[in-house]
Structure 1
């Protein structure tokens, strides 16, 4: 993570994910570099787990101009460590699902060449292309019932979707 001074008086620090460190050992907010008010930290190490069911999503991520991984961070109550690692994924669809909740921060980070090669090799070994199967419509109604048709409360055959009501004669006294 990179910490820089905030742009406004309401935000003391601006935090962003600067890089992934494949093969790094365990760390807990270890300072890597400091330059004036800016600093870079190794905030933690998480495994990147690949799933066979997500192989197509990994192919999509690898097909981008710059293949990226996604780091999911959650807010922390500690002022010195405002963010905590939640997940690292190469699946853009999974990252999008985390972004819909609104509480987590998702950072898109370019993958290092060694990580790209590892994900590509794994995806090539596990991806199975499924043939497209066009869905065919059924030519009959399974339950043989049409919604609203045949409702005994409706007297008129021509207007089967109107709400049932009592007939009132207009102009009668």
Structure 2
């Protein structure tokens, strides 16, 4: 894979052009009565001009279908450097792909799984999962991992640690969250001998 700009390039945003391979597999067993097929992410590969710009069926047999979805751009954004660092420092860095099943069939007899976006950001993938999207991960090749790590090393800045205020400066509250006060004065009350 060839990035469109090097990690040191301050001009254009670093990016990679990729295509996504989705696989439809026949399910066996009791659940196959209700759901005979399952879609899974198979791979993310370098995009080639010969792929065109529309999804196409690569292979089909009784058990599987393989679909190629070209035309995705994976860009690195400076404001998500922490998400890239989290991915780059895991034991198995990878691509994250958000995909959805078509509502209606557009290129095949039945609706197919359509990738929506591809990223290398762990944080972005987490936000998609929080939004109840379908997100899958496949390992990234070593040259992409090295490209990502080089970019992260160049742009990652750890957030400065905030100085923690001493406990004596925290406002006092009672167990109900109401403001409380402390005094050093002795309470003056009426004693038994006072009239």
Q: Same fold (TM over 0.5)?
A: yes
Most deviating of 18-27 and 38-47: 18-27
Give secondary structure in 2 for the equivalent of 1:46.
strand
Q: Which residue of 2 aligns with 1:63?
A: 89
RMSD: 2.6
Q: Distance in 1 between matches of 2:131 and 2:101?
A: 13
Q: Distance in 2 between matches of 1:11 and 1:78?
A: 17
Q: Which residue of 1 aligns with 2:15?
A: none
Q: Which residue of 2 aligns with 1:166?
A: none
Q: Where does structure 2 lack aligned partners over 5 or more consecutive residues?
A: 1-21, 172-176, 181-195
Matched, 1:75 2:101: yes
Q: Distance in 2 between matches of 1:131 and 1:97?
A: 24
Matched, 1:134 2:134: no
Give the count of matched residue pairs: 146
Q: Deviations over 1:19-47 (max 9, x none)?
A: 00123344422222334431211123311
Q: Which residue of 1 aligns with 2:190?
A: none
Q: Which residue of 2 aligns with 1:52?
A: 78
Q: Deviations over 1:113-153 (max 9, x none)?
A: 23212212222222123332233257265xxxx8478xxxx
Matched, 1:113 2:142: yes
Q: Distance in 2 between matches of 1:113 and 1:32?
A: 26
Q: Where does structure 1 lack aligned partners over 5 or more consecutive residues?
A: 150-173
Check whether the contact 1:27–1:42 (CA below 8 A) recurs between aligned residues. Answer: no
Higher strand proportion (structure 1 or 2): 2
Give secondary structure in 1 for the equivalent of 2:74.
coil
Matched, 1:122 2:151: yes
Equivalent residue for 2:120, pick from 90, 102, 109:
90
Residues 1:18 and 1:108: Cα distance change in structure 2 (over 3 Å): same
Aligned pairs for 1:24-63 (under 5 A) are 24-25=48-49, 26-63=52-89
| TM-score, length basis structure 2 | 0.64
Q: Distance in 2 between matches of 1:126 and 1:9?
A: 51
| TM-score, length basis structure 1 | 0.71
